[in-house]
Chains A and B, each alone.
Chain A
Amino acid sequence: MTPTPAPGRRTPLARLRGPATFLALLAAALLLLPHLLEPFRLNLLTQYLCYSIVALGIALAWGRGGMLTLGHGVYFGLGAYAMAIHLTLAATAADPLTRGRLPQFMAWSGRTELPWFWQALTHPAAAVTAALLLPAALATLLGWSVFRQRVRGAYFALLNQALAAAFVILLIGQQHLTGGSNGLTDFPVFAGHSLYTPTAQTTLYTLTVLTLAATYLLLRHLTHSRYGRLLIAIRDGEDRVRYLGYDPTWAKTLAYALSATAAGAAGALFVPVMGIISPTLIGVVPSIMMVLAVAIGGRDSLAGAAAGALIMNTAQTTFSETFTGGWTYLQGALFVVVIALAPHGLAGLAHTARAALRRPRTPAPAQETATAGSTP
């Protein structure tokens, strides 16, 4: 357990506490954990942290912007596939037996040459760029076209869900381009470095932690800016914002695109960590799971959302390791209980608890929780 610092009465100390905790956490995660955990657990943790990055993005789009994105698997998938295609090419080139030939599944699907978008991803830098830009571009296109028409709320959620369903069908159907339902697997090298060494796993872990930290700082900065407040205003009364002379379309599109980019980055990191990407990892149900992680952690809080993804994935592993087969009940019940009883997730609970523990000198935060309860 991390000792909770004594409640700071004076403002400068209190102001420093947030960044200090953040730095301490970051340092502990980077310096300590790789030595404490066995490689398999470290690898698991890295995977979970990838989902934490997705959660940060969803917390921005949904928690702040009120856009329930039930299709984030698509953006995660775009990032992941961009990276996986590159890694497959690298693996083919690295193996003397297959050098200069097509990936095996393509040859078997009757293709004679590499498709253009595979060729474009030959260079590692191109793959990283594509993993970030493709999700951003698709999200901008979709966001702009539907937000302009004032499609929102439940409609937007369902459209996103349909997008996820369609994306999976496309990936499976275009087997000669994507590897079909088997997905892409087995990635031994990236940019000339073996991915199978313990050092590589630690490096990937460090990279993931740093990406998570950077995403957190960036989004935190955004949500505390004027733009962040505009986003909340749109969430709570889009038409009113319109009457005030703002155009919500671009503000929403930006949040949606940023959130998609975060998911793309997470996907690109996930692939070398996990060693596989396939359509079942990014379809309708995984997309809902990504959102549920944010709901559990607390949609109003970036840190809460990231912690939510970490906790939910850990719980999933623990549950299914201990109660093989029966953990679905627990998971379902957990969702129901958290959403019904703690709509602000664990972050909201922690906040309420802290406010109750503290002297009733500062009733303001508690009140804020109460008013926030009316948001959709």
Chain B
Amino acid sequence: MDALVNQLPTGLAIGAVLLLAALGLNFTFGQMGVINMAHGEFIMVGAYTAYVLHAWAGLDPTWSLIAALPLAFTLTGTLGWLLELGLIRHFYGRPLDTLLLTFGIGMILQQAARDTFGAPNVDVPAPGWLTDGTTLPGGIRLHHSRLFILALALVCVLAIAHYLHRTHQGRQMRAVIHNRDLAGVSGINTRKVDATTFFIGSGLAGVAGVALTLIGPTGPTLGANYIVDAFLVVVIGGLGRLRGTVLAAFALGILNATAQAWTDASLAKLLVFAAIIAFLQARPQGLFTVKTRALT
């Protein structure tokens, strides 16, 4: 129990990272059923955005971090939008083909990053106020960069929730998930909604990328390191359910951190995989499901 309390901040921190990486997938995979394997590379593009602002445009770390967030969102959003427009649009209903297709895109993006920025990791210095930490009375250490990521993830979640439930466009998006045909005949332009969904989902990958520069290496394979876990989060949460994704990310984070305290990191990862398989035995559709009457 003591270990659990000690590991709670770490678990939340790991969960926040998973959540950020998975939020975008919640749109593209969860809502549209598109497995975008290039999502990891979009995360990488976001991370390099922060690098370019710092190293090429010469902004100081604080400003490059703040400026990179919206810029990366727009940049990777546009990339995703183009991808949807040019390729994925023609593959709806064939999720497995999209998976392989986007894997090819991911390979190209990764090599492009390698050729542009070089194979070695680049340095994206964190702002001074994020490199430190605070020790709580109980001896629990709070890393400021982790708190920032947690806060960023929560802001993103709130913004998404607001968008989905309080705006006209968001309601249209939900209508399309629940029943595409019915939404279509009700006058919603489903093509346009798809494009928007993909833009937002991919844009969130960019935001995640910027945040990840704070805690990890910035290199061509940055995104590939997170992609498997991120997909699992969405699968466990249940396709298209925001609260499922949030819950699953933190549950996985805490499970990972606790298991790591109890055994080593390698075994911890294995235990988490085993737990996921066992969980899907009990709830094959994830924590929450969208109720649909469609026959598959």
A–B proximity contact (CB within 8 A): yes
Question: Contact residues of A with B, CB < 8 Å?
Answer: 62, 68, 70, 142, 145-146, 149-151, 153-155, 157-159, 161-163, 165-166, 169-170, 172-173, 238-239, 284, 288, 291-292, 295, 326, 328-329, 331-336, 339-340, 343, 376
- Cβ of B161: which chain A residues have Cβ within 8 Å of it? none
Report Cα–Cα, A151/B284, bound state, in Å.
6
Query: Is B26 close to A, CB under 8 A?
Result: no
A336-B284 CB under 8 A given contacts A158-B231, A170-B270, A172-B266: no
A376-B276 CB under 8 A given contacts A170-B270, A332-B107: no
A66 to chain B, nearest CB (A): 8
- Cβ of B111: which chain A residues have Cβ within 8 Å of it? 326, 328-329, 332
Please give 11 more A-B residue pairs, beta carbons under 8 A apart, in addition to A145-B277, A158-B35, A158-B232. Answer: A62-B96, A149-B281, A157-B35, A157-B96, A159-B280, A173-B270, A291-B100, A292-B104, A335-B103, A339-B97, A340-B87
Question: Contact residues of B with A, CB < 8 Å?
Answer: 29, 33, 35, 87, 90-91, 93-97, 99-101, 103-108, 110-112, 228, 231-232, 235, 264, 266-267, 269-270, 273-274, 276-277, 280-281, 284, 295-296
- Cβ of A291: which chain B residues have Cβ within 8 Å of it? 100
- Cβ of A288: which chain B residues have Cβ within 8 Å of it? 100, 103
A153-B103 CB under 8 A given contacts A162-B228, A284-B228, A332-B111: no
Q: Which of B35, B108, B267, B270 contacts A332 (CB 8 A)?
A: B108
A153-B96 CB under 8 A given contacts A159-B277, A173-B270: yes
- Cβ of A151: which chain B residues have Cβ within 8 Å of it? 280, 284
The 5 closest A-B pairs by CB, nearest first: A335-B104, A332-B107, A173-B266, A332-B108, A149-B284
- Cβ of B231: which chain A residues have Cβ within 8 Å of it? 158, 161
Docked-complex contact A333 and B267, CB < 8 angstroms: no
Docked-complex contact B280 and A376, CB < 8 angstroms: no
Sample of 26 A–B contacts (CB below 8 Å): A142-B277, A146-B284, A149-B281, A149-B284, A150-B284, A151-B284, A153-B95, A157-B35, A158-B232, A162-B277, A166-B273, A288-B100, A292-B103, A331-B104, A332-B105, A332-B108, A332-B111, A333-B104, A334-B104, A336-B87, A339-B100, A339-B101, A340-B91, A340-B101, A376-B96, A376-B97
Docked-complex contact B104 and A162, CB < 8 angstroms: no
B226 to chain A, nearest CB (A): 12
Docked-complex contact A145 and B281, CB < 8 angstroms: yes
A5 to chain B, nearest CB (A): 33
Report Cα–Cα, A150/B289, bound state, in Å.
14
- Cβ of A163: which chain B residues have Cβ within 8 Å of it? 273
A154-B96 CB under 8 A given contacts A162-B276, A169-B266, A328-B107: yes
Report Cα–Cα, A153/B35, bound state, in Å.
11
- Cβ of A331: which chain B residues have Cβ within 8 Å of it? 104, 107
Q: Which of B94, B110, B235 contacts A328 (CB 8 A)?
A: B110
Report Cα–Cα, A136/B35, bound state, in Å.
28
Docked-complex contact B273 and A162, CB < 8 angstroms: yes
B177 to chain A, nearest CB (A): 15
Docked-complex contact A329 and B108, CB < 8 angstroms: yes
A154-B269 CB under 8 A given contacts A162-B228, A335-B104, A339-B104: no
Docked-complex contact B95 and A154, CB < 8 angstroms: yes
Report Cα–Cα, A19/B129, bound state, in Å.
73
- Cβ of B91: which chain A residues have Cβ within 8 Å of it? 340
Docked-complex contact A343 and B97, CB < 8 angstroms: yes
Docked-complex contact A154 and B35, CB < 8 angstroms: yes
B252 to chain A, nearest CB (A): 12
Report Cα–Cα, A329/B101, bound state, in Å.
14
A321 to chain B, nearest CB (A): 17
Report Cα–Cα, A151/B101, bound state, in Å.
23
Docked-complex contact A292 and B100, CB < 8 angstroms: yes
A336-B101 CB under 8 A given contacts A158-B35, A329-B108, A376-B93: yes
B192 to chain A, nearest CB (A): 23
Report Cα–Cα, A89/B206, bound state, in Å.
50
Report Cα–Cα, A154/B90, bound state, in Å.
18
- Cβ of B267: which chain A residues have Cβ within 8 Å of it? 173
- Cβ of A170: which chain B residues have Cβ within 8 Å of it? 270
Report Cα–Cα, A163/B270, bound state, in Å.
9
A25 to chain B, nearest CB (A): 28
A248 to chain B, nearest CB (A): 13
- Cβ of B112: which chain A residues have Cβ within 8 Å of it? 329
- Cβ of A336: which chain B residues have Cβ within 8 Å of it? 87, 101, 104-105, 108
Report Cα–Cα, A339/B281, bound state, in Å.
32
- Cβ of B107: which chain A residues have Cβ within 8 Å of it? 328, 331-332, 335
Report Cα–Cα, A234/B99, bound state, in Å.
21
- Cβ of A153: which chain B residues have Cβ within 8 Å of it? 95-96
Docked-complex contact A376 and B95, CB < 8 angstroms: yes
Closest B residue to A70 using CB positions: B99
A333 to chain B, nearest CB (A): 7
Report Cα–Cα, A340/B106, bound state, in Å.
15
Closest A residue to B93 using CB positions: A376
Report Cα–Cα, A336/B101, bound state, in Å.
5
- Cβ of A162: which chain B residues have Cβ within 8 Å of it? 228, 232, 273, 276-277
Report Cα–Cα, A331/B179, bound state, in Å.
38
- Cβ of A335: which chain B residues have Cβ within 8 Å of it? 100-101, 103-104, 107
Docked-complex contact A169 and B93, CB < 8 angstroms: no
- Cβ of A332: which chain B residues have Cβ within 8 Å of it? 104-108, 111
Report Cα–Cα, A149/B93, bound state, in Å.
22
Q: Which of A172, A239, A343 contacts B296 (CB 8 A)?
A: A239
A376-B94 CB under 8 A given contacts A162-B228, A336-B104: yes
